[in-house]
Amino acid sequence: MLIRFIEFENYDPRLNMAIDEAISIFVRKDELLPTFRFYGWNKRAITIGEFQNLEEINHDFCILHDIPVIRRPTGGKGILHNEDVTYSFSCRREERFRGNLFQAYEILSRIFAKAFYLTGIDVEIIREKRSFNRSSVCFARSSFGEICFKNIKIIGSAQKRWTDGFLQQGTIPLTVDRELLSKVFLCNSEDLNNIAGIKELFGEFNIEIFQENIKRVLKEEGFEVVVDCLQKKELVLAEKLLQKKQPA
């Protein structure tokens, strides 16, 4: 199975979400290969899940401090993007990914777990299918297929599924600003006790090395990787999607 891989680059927060949505549209139309994208954020921002209540966010504080709040196309809870690595994977429901949500999670989690291992980080994959923590903060909750290091969640992921394909998005925080988290999310202080960035837990973490390890694992798992860049049609559609979207 051919996988198109778009390497890490920083973008505007709202454009990031629109690009992922545009990619998923072209992939589901079978106009582009299944696409793995790595990216960062050129300013701090908050993304919230597709169905998350906006009242879980201190919106006035975010407006005052120029922190955009953006609704993701995928589910899950809120993430403060500051210094992190975010990924998306868009694919049709075919071949290795013809199964259900949990089966797709299983494949992608295994790829990330192996890449972390190659990077020197011994992680575990959460096997439970439910989380009983109702926090508004993504990284205060753990659910099926997500990855932990020293009992702390280090990737938060969520999916959006259609009849013809799916989009999975996930974030690896490198550092965590707990003070800012406590101000932007209406949450309990204990929700923040078990949240940490990978650099706090592990020390040195090189994005480029980790990205190369993801490619290596994809190949070991039987995928053929084609490194590419965003195409003009994806960026044009992303801009059109941005114009149509209402603020979160």
CA 91 to chain centre: 15
**Which long-range contacts does 204-213 make (Cβ < 8 Å, 24+ apart)?**
205/119, 205/174, 206/119, 207/8, 207/38, 207/85, 208/8, 209/119, 210/85, 210/115, 210/116, 210/119, 211/7, 211/8, 211/38, 213/114, 213/115, 213/116, 213/118, 213/119
Instruction: Show pLDDT as tens, one digit a residue, over the chain (248 residues).
Output: 999 999 999 999 999 999 999 999 999 999 999 999 999 999 999 999 998 888 889 999 999 999 999 999 999 889 999 899 999 999 999 999 999 998 999 999 999 999 999 999 999 987 765 444 455 566 555 566 678 888 888 998 999 999 999 999 999 999 999 899 989 987 777 777 778 899 988 878 899 999 999 999 999 999 999 999 999 999 999 999 999 876 66
Domain that holds residue 57: 2-244
Number of domains making up the chain: 1
Q: Determine the Cα–Cα distance for residues 112 and 216; give it in Å rounded to an integer.
A: 11
Q: Determine the Cα–Cα distance for residues 169 and 149; give it in Å rounded to an integer.
A: 19
**Cα atoms in the 13 Å half-sphere on the side-chain side of 215:** 17
| Nearest alpha carbon to residue 28 among 16, 18, 20, 38 | 20
Q: Could you tell me the CATH number of the domain that includes residue 93?
A: 3.30.930.10
**pTM for the whole structure:** 0.92
The reply to whether 138 belongs to the active site is yes
pLDDT at 144: 62
Catalytic residue, chosen from 62, 138, 148, 187, is 138
pLDDT at 130: 45
